[in-house]
Amino acid sequence: MCRILIVDDSTTMRAIIERALTDVGFDQHDIGHAGDGIEALQAIELSMPELVISDVNMPRMTGTQLLSTIQGRYGRGAPTTVMVTSVPNSSALVELFRLGAAKVIRKPFAPSDLPRELGPFLPPLVRHDPWSEPTLDAPPTPQRQPGDDFVYGLPEDAVREALVAASGSFFAHVATGDAPAGVGKLDPTRVVFIAEVALDGGVRVRLSTTRPVSARLAVALTGAPPGQDDRACLDAIAEAANIIVGGFMRELAERGVPTDDFAFGLPVTDVVAPGRYEPTNGIVHDLGRGEIAVIEILA
């Protein structure tokens, strides 16, 4: 039975995606292949998968047409569908979400990142070997207690204070007003743009906001509006995350953390469907005009 259906006219891309899935424990029997939308519909009729991963630009029937047909034919019983595309136009991405895509993954992507991108939508792993020994549950992760160090030898309050100072200083330059840190939520009806930077020690800083804010960031950083180009907006939010992390490092140094040898990676960006992502325990900055940005530290 096919549990995950990969739809792409490129046999190489299908092999890359399959390898990424088998590397995290899926059996080849779990995975089906289709070379275009018509083959995908035939495969779905034979065996309803739990997840469809589809390219957009394909011959005979495109991924957009496939997505629309799946949703129209199966309604609430439709398999979860994730689209993979290199299309930079934001209106095209919004159209995919409107048609029912659970997520849109942008090309190019690192194969090793794919399981993380697909994480919430992957079906549970099923052990295929009936003679294998059961694995023991991992011991529970100890819960951090109030007053314990959070990261870099500092308590959580001190780390958040440093992040508030760094992000507030940056957003004051692009906001209407002084971008105070407060409360609020991202609009669940809008597409969310995310940039995440990995720091030493397994710490990550994540910035999330809406496309209008990303466009404002592009204007503030480059002096030019991005138009309909999503890539320019993603580049802007990535650069914003980099600048905030740089300020965060300075704030940590002022609090006694030796940051001279700290390294951080290139920002990883993403576009998430409306209602699919809600930051938890993030620092919310009011940017005016009804817009907010949320900065989180994940450890």
Domains and CATH numbers, the chain: 4-121 (3.40.50.2300), 149-298 (3.40.1550.10)
| Residue 218 contacts residue 224 (beta carbons within 8 Å) | yes
Alpha helices by DSSP H, 75-210? 90-99, 114-118, 156-171
Q: pLDDT tens digits for 250-274? A: 898 898 888 777 777 778 888 888 8
For residue 48, what pLDDT is reported? Answer: 93
pLDDT band for 78, please (50, 70, 90 cuts).
Answer: very high
Q: Which residues lie across from 194 on neighbouring strands?
A: 208, 270
**How far is residue 296's CA from residue 299's CA, in Å, rounded to a whole number?**
10
**Sorting pLDDT into bands at 50, 70 and 90, what band is 38?**
very high
Q: What is residue 150's predicted lDDT score, i.e. its pLDDT?
A: 67
Q: What pLDDT score was predicted for residue 139?
A: 42
Tokens of 227: 């138009």
Please state, in angstroms and as integers, the Cα–Cα distance from residue 157 to each residue in 136, 150, 154, 161, following that order.
36, 9, 8, 6
pLDDT tier at 132, thresholds 50, 70, 90: very low
As given in the structure block, the two tokens for residue 149 are 């160090």
Q: Are 296 and 282 in contact (CB under 8 A)?
A: yes
**Which band of pLDDT confidence, cut at 50, 70 and 90, is reported for residue 144?**
very low
- The pTM of this model reads 0.56
Residue 178 predicted with pLDDT over 60: no
Residue 7: predicted pLDDT = 95
Cα separation values, 179 from 150, 151, 171, 244, Å: 26, 26, 6, 14
Q: Specify the 3-state DSSP secondary structure of 81.
A: strand
pLDDT at 295: 92
Mean pLDDT score across all residues of the chain: 81
Answer with the residue of higher pLDDT: 192 or 279: 192
- Mean pLDDT, residues 31-58: 94
Higher pLDDT, 292 or 264: 292
Each residue of 5-16: pLDDT tens digit?
999 988 878 888
Residue 223: how many CA atoms within 13 Å on its side-chain side? 0
Among 98-112, 153-167, 172-186, whose mean pLDDT is lowest?
A: 172-186
Q: What is the arithmetic mean of pLDDT over 81-107? A: 83
Indicate if the pLDDT at residue 171 is higher than 50.
Answer: yes
Predicted pLDDT at 126: 59
At residue 154 the predicted structure's pLDDT band, cuts being 50, 70 and 90, is: confident
Residue 149 confidence (pLDDT): 58
d(C-alpha 173, C-alpha 72), whole Å: 46
Task: Please report, rounded to a whole number, the percentage of residues in the chain having pLDDT higher than 70.
Answer: 85
Greater confidence (65 vs 86) lies with: 65
